[in-house]
């Protein structure tokens, strides 16, 4: 552990070592070596599509927070971009985390249980693809807490899937219905990020909004990586999809195996949204 953490947060009693207890797990995907690899594949797919790892026009941040850090790959990018910044990699489960640079500190804490930081702690807060971890009813409170720990003039940035699908074939529609049934059991709504701009405006912010389509067909804009990413995530939860939907596992596996050809045939893509806003 590096000693700047205690100085930054004043030894707050809300931080116990680097672990803060949280609530019951809502994340629907596994925490395995394959999931590590998938998340890092996803990172590069988004870079090919969006053209950058940093959308908000941040200038010389001193303290940065990455929420739901996963493997910490975004944090390592940040450490190269701003080598003098102090960076927190936060997740409720650090089992996927790879080694971090010395300017970074990992904290195990549950976003749904309140952030373990004082007000006005960070110049830049980044959160990516947590729609499968945040119940729809929890989003407004989560955003308010993220704003609480953002400094005046600091930036909040979100990149999320929205559950939207373009040029959808019947197999994809079936798999989407299966997954939404699983997510619904945990209070998750895959379209919730579409409300991010409205929720941020309710907090007196003026968000910039960029909608995008992650392609699953073709060879451009990260499509081969997005195909591998989505298929790997679905295959990892195939037994749960079968159980929740009372469908034979063999049928789920056969449907997933046929998705790639269907995506190419229909030219399928999945919707996403990037939103960033500055705290007055």
Give pLDDT tens digits for 182-226. Answer: 999 999 999 999 999 999 999 999 999 999 999 999 999 999 999
- Name the CATH superfamily for 4-278: Vaccinia Virus protein VP39 (3.40.50.150)
Give pLDDT tens digits for 23-66. Answer: 344 554 556 677 777 888 899 999 999 999 999 999 999 999 99
Between 21-30, 72-81, 101-110, the lowest mean confidence (pLDDT) is in 21-30
Domain boundaries, the chain: 4-278
Shortest CA distance to 255 belongs to which of 275, 225, 235? 235
Range list of H helices, the chain: 4-9, 33-50, 73-81, 139-148, 170-185, 196-202, 223-236, 238-245, 249-257, 259-266
Complete DSSP assignment for 139-172 = HHHHHHHHHHTEEEEEEEEEEEEEEEEES--HHH
Say whether pLDDT at 274 is over 80. yes
Range list of H helices, 14-157: 33-50, 73-81, 139-148
User: Residue 131: what pLDDT?
Assistant: 96
Is-contact 262 171, C-beta < 8 A? yes
């Amino acid at each position: 552990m590096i000693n700047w953490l205690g100085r930054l947060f004043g030894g707050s009693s809300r931080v116990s070592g680097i672990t803060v207890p949280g609530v019951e797990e809502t994340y629907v995907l596994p925490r395995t070596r394959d999931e590590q690899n998938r998340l890092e594949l996803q990172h590069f797919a988004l870079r090919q599509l969006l053209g950058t790892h940093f959308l908000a026009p941040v200038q010389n941040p001193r303290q940065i927070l990455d929420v739901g850090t996963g493997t910490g790959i975004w944090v390592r990018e940040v450490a190269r971009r701003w080598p003098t910044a102090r960076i927190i990699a936060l997740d409720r489960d650090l089992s996927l985390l790879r080694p971090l640079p010395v300017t970074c500190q990992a904290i195990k804490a549950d976003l749904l249980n309140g952030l373990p930081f004082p007000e006005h702690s960070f110049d830049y807060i980044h959160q990516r693809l947590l729609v499968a971890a945040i119940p729809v009813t929890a989003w407004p409170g989560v955003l308010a807490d993220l704003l609480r720990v953002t400094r005046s003039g600091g930036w909040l940035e979100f990149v999320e899937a929205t559950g939207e699908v373009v040029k959808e074939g019947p197999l994809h529609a079936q798999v989407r219905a299966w997954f939404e049934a699983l997510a619904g059991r945990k209070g998750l709504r895959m379209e919730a990020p579409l409300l991010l701009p409205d929720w941020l405006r309710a907090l007196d912010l003026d968000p910039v909004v960029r909608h995008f389509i992650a392609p699953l067909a073709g060879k451009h804009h990260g499509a081969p990586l997005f195909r591998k990413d989505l298929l790997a995530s679905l295959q990892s939860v195939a037994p749960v999809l079968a159980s929740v939907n009372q469908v034979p596992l063999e049928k789920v596996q056969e449907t997933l195996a046929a998705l790639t050809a269907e995506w190419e045939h229909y030219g399928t893509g999945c919707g996403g949204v990037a939103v960033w806003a500055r705290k007055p």
